[in-house]
Every structure is written in structure tokens, then in C-alpha cells.
Amino acid sequence: MKLTDSVNVLLLGSGGREHAFAWKISQSPRVARLFIAPGNAGTAALGTNVDLSPSNFGSIKQFVINNSINLVVVGPEESLVKGIYDFFHEDSDIHHVPVIGPSALGAKLEGSKDFAKAFMARHGIPTAAYRSFTKETLDKGYAFLESLKAPYVLKADGLAAGKGVLIVDDLDEAKRELREMLGGKFGAAGNTVVIEECLKGIECSVFVATDGEHFAVLPEAKDYKRIGEGDTGLNTGGMGAVSPVPFADEAFMQRVRDEIIVPTVAGLRAEKIDYKGFIFIGLMNDGGKPYVIEYNVRMGDPETEVVLPRIESDIMGLFEGMAFGTLDKHTLKISPRTATTVVCVSGGYPGDYAKGMAISGLDQPSESTVFHAGTALKGGKVTTAGGRVLAVTSLGDTIADALARSYATIDRIDYEGKYCRRDIGQDLERLVKA
């Protein structure tokens, strides 16, 4: 089976990741119309924004029927965890429309850390040793913490908007956090808490597209999670990303493929988990040996803003392979160039911040692609509408070269409270030079 020659696409989401998807999708000669729900000011220039929530499945169904949509691409995890794939699959009016994303069961790889850890254990996938606890087994949780060495890693089982992971140096504090998490600190997401061994090494993320049987490895990336330079301060959604990652060399990527990707896809198949989507594998590289930190069931943000610009082939071919189980017949063409993205945020983020600030300088010529993360159109003007506002992506022959372009573009853009980290990629540049 194939997609038609003129595909109407509905893309769900509103961040920088979705702007990057819209940018890549709109380059395809196979696309007739592109709708983005709800989208942002950036996606509005590439297709039609639709005022629909990605988790309002009933309205999405109506829109898909009314607009002869042939393909649905899902950006955020929430819709997947809530079962949008299954909703389409089980409804005879729309089951012919492929959805790029896993079934609800597959989405538990991100939606439940306990499920993900047990899946890895069943399939011999290298990850930190762990045990899970509930309110009823609090005392056993204390005993398990006592058996570990600091630092202690505690994770709320469910989705907690990226805030559910704590890394604590002190045993008493770890016990207190465990008690508070099980007591509702992160709501129902913390009804079960995973405690795991702390891995050491350097992190990177690997992205895989799968049809549930075959897979394609997309460019890897490193992201920068903390708000402050030198990786200090609070965690954010991501302040920048670089691809490729110099330490993810051929030997490392071969181990990732053999020890992690192959058993993950085989495990999905063996467990009859319907999965036609992306797998985002957060990895620790410990002296060349990869360990899985976490799975996400979607692309990363801002990682997508460096991964897609390095893909030279038409993305509709990739989606077609994922949707119809023919990924083995698809060849992915990847650029050897380096992509960097630097995220501009609103002052105060990840705490409280203002919205509605006018953004200037977006129309000036630049050597970058400016992806909108949190923007809106107000009276024809682009304004800030989120914590992460823009992701400024550039290609270059080296990390330094790409970064110079991103920062030059950022210097021409302004809004009240603009902040970005000036040290994105510098750790990798030091590694390359060493």
C-alpha cells in the first residue's frame, strides 16, 4: 500500500518540533494541503492552522472526514498516551487514515516508566538497575535506597511534564522525596515511583522511525536541558541541540543498533505492540557502552529542529514506509553537515514569564531557519506565546560554524525579555579539539 500522489496532511501540535515537521512536510511535492492543529505563527506560513486541540479526538475525526485527510502526524506524547492511534484504528469511518505514532500500549514506553523498565528487562536491553514502589511498599523503598550508592535517582512513573525525575545526593533527602512523591507531590503520576541506579557517562539521544517490524535510524542529537550556561539551574524543555554528536561514532552507534534498537523493535513485535511511529531513545554513553535512560514515543523538541534539517530525502517516503510496513524498502538520505539549534526563551522561564511581547527582526535575511516554538499572530504581528519562543537552526561544516550562524541570526531578533544560552555545543567542540 502507498499514500496517494497528492496527500492532505494533518499535523498535531504547536511547538518548534511541529514547525520543523511542517517545514519538512511542506517541501514534499507529494503534499497537496497541510493543516496544523493548533500550530503557531511559524506553521501558519507553511499551511493552515486549525483551532483544534490535539487531544479532542472527536473533533479531529470530524476534521479528517470533512477535509479528506490522508495522513495524520502526531507531535506530542499526550495524544499518543491517550490513544489517538487506537481511536483511528477502531473507527470504521477513519481507520483507513494512517496515524504516525504508536498505539496506546506502545506509548506506555513513555507514559509509564515502570512499564518501560520492565519491557527493557524482558528484552535484555541495557539500562540502570531498578525497582518500583507504591505507598504500600514505602518501607521496602527505603531499604532499596539504603542498598544503593548516592546519587539516588527517583522517577514518578507517569507523565509529569518533564518534572518527575529527581536526582538526590543525600540518603535522608531521597527517603523524604520518595515519601512525598508517593504522597502525591506529582499527582497520580507518582502513585508508583521507580528508583534506579545512577548511570555515569555522557548523554545523547538517538531517534528511530519504525513500522513495528523494520526501522530506520535518524540522525542522533545532544540537547541542553538546563536553563543556565554550564548546565546549571532548573530543567527546561530544552535550550538547544546539536547533530551529529561527535562521541556517537560508528562503533558506538553499531552497539546502539545491536544492543538497543534491534531488541527494542523485536520486543515490540514479540509483544504484538502496534507501533508505527518514532522512538526517541535517551542514552548514556559510559566509556563506549550505551545504556537506555528513557524512551519517548515521539520526536524530541528541540532535537527535531536539528534532526529534520539533516534529512535530505522526502519525508513523505519515510511516513509511507512507517504507515504501511515497508520501511525496509525506504532509503533515508542524511546530510553529513552539522546542524545546531539555539532556543530563545521568555525571561523568567522555566518559572513565570510574560506573554504577548512583539518579536522584531524575523523578516531580515539570515543563514538560519527560525522555527517558532511559542508564538502567536496578533493583529498581523508575531508575538511571544510561550516559555520557549524560537529555535534558531543553522547548518555548517563544523559545530562552531553552524553556531556562529545561529547566534548571528539571534542577534538580529528582539523581544522584551529575550534570553538564550550562549554555550550550546561548546562541550562538544572541546571534545572534538581534545
Neighbours of 407 (CB within 10 A): 17
Q: How far is the CB of 86 from ligand GLY (least distance, A)?
A: 23
In terms of CB distance, is 35 or 295 closer to ligand AMP? 295
- CA gap 178, 266 in Å, rounded: 34
Q: How far is the CB of 156 from ligand GLY (least distance, A)?
A: 15
Q: Where does this chain bind ligand GLY (CB under 6 A)?
A: 223, 237-238, 296, 300-301, 303
Phi then psi for 70, rounded to 5 degrees? -105, -10
Phi then psi for 344, rounded to 5 degrees? -100, 130
Q: How far is the CB of 332 from ligand AMP (least distance, A)?
A: 25
In terms of CB distance, is 36 or 159 closer to ligand AMP? 159
From the list ligand AMP, ligand GLY, none, which binds 9 (C-beta under 5 to 8 Å, kind-based)?
none
The three state secondary structure string of 134-152 is CHHHHHHHHHHHHHCCCCE
In terms of CB distance, is 88 or 115 closer to ligand AMP? 115
Q: Where does this chain bind ligand AMP (CB under 6 A)?
A: 128, 153, 165, 196, 198-199, 203, 282, 293-294
Q: Do 44 and 126 touch, CB atoms closer than 8 A?
A: no
Q: How far is the CB of 293 from ligand AMP (least distance, A)?
A: 5
- CA gap 278, 307 in Å, rounded: 12
- CA gap 59, 87 in Å, rounded: 12
- Residue type (1 letter), 121: A
Q: Do 388 and 237 touch, CB atoms closer than 8 A?
A: yes
In terms of CB distance, is 138 or 165 closer to ligand AMP? 165
From the list ligand GLY, ligand AMP, none, which binds 303 (C-beta under 5 to 8 Å, kind-based)?
ligand GLY
Q: How far is the CB of 219 from ligand GLY (least distance, A)?
A: 15
Q: How far is the CB of 68 from ligand GLY (least distance, A)?
A: 31
- CA gap 14, 33 in Å, rounded: 18
From the list ligand AMP, ligand GLY, none, which binds 296 (C-beta under 5 to 8 Å, kind-based)?
ligand GLY
Q: How far is the CB of 16 from ligand GLY (least distance, A)?
A: 10
In terms of CB distance, is 182 or 245 closer to ligand GLY? 245
- Residue type (1 letter), 60: I
- CA gap 2, 60 in Å, rounded: 23
From the list ligand AMP, ligand GLY, none, which binds 223 (C-beta under 5 to 8 Å, kind-based)?
ligand GLY
From the list ligand GLY, ligand AMP, none, which binds 263 (C-beta under 5 to 8 Å, kind-based)?
none
In terms of CB distance, is 238 or 321 closer to ligand AMP? 238
**Placement of cell 539500562 in the chain:** 127
Can you list the pairs that 167-173 forms with residues at least 24 positions away whose Cβ atoms lie under 8 Å? Answer: 167/198, 171/145, 171/146
In terms of CB distance, is 240 or 321 closer to ligand AMP? 240
Q: Do 324 and 353 touch, CB atoms closer than 8 A?
A: no
